[in-house]
Amino acid sequence: MKNKELVTELAARMGWTAQEVAETLSVLSSVVSSRLVDNDTIYLQGFGQFEVKKKAERISVNPSNGKRYLVPPKLVPVFKPGTTVKNKLKELGDHE
């Protein structure tokens, strides 16, 4: 589902213009992003939470020349689904 399709579906559901929805999503993204950068966990009711985790540095190997090199530590945003999403996916997995 591309961004545009998401905007169209949300606009239809809420009776808004695509522009209003796009603006809302953009403000939401910017608030969540800046909170993540501040190392804050963001809770979205019924959906899940976003937080930043630090991945430790590690040694990797370049497969073409066999040389070892150090991958530096990095900060990555992680999404933890809420129970609603988790349960829906669990049901789906159980029926496969």
Phi and psi at 66, nearest 5°, equal: 75, 5
Minimum distance from residue 77 beta carbon to a copy of itself (Å): 5
Structure-token pair, residue 58:
């590690």
Positions touching a copy of itself (CB under 8 A) are 1-3, 6, 9-10, 13-14, 23-33, 35-37, 40-48, 50, 52, 54, 72-79, 81, 84-85, 88-90, 92-93
Long-range contacts of 29-37 (CB under 8 A, 24+ apart): 36/77
- Cβ-based burial of 49 (10 A; exposed 0-12, middle 13-18, buried ≥19): middle
Q: Which is nearer to a copy of itself, 13 or 67 (CB)?
A: 13
Q: Which is nearer to a copy of itself, 45 or 64 (CB)?
A: 45
Q: Which is nearer to a copy of itself, 17 or 84 (CB)?
A: 84
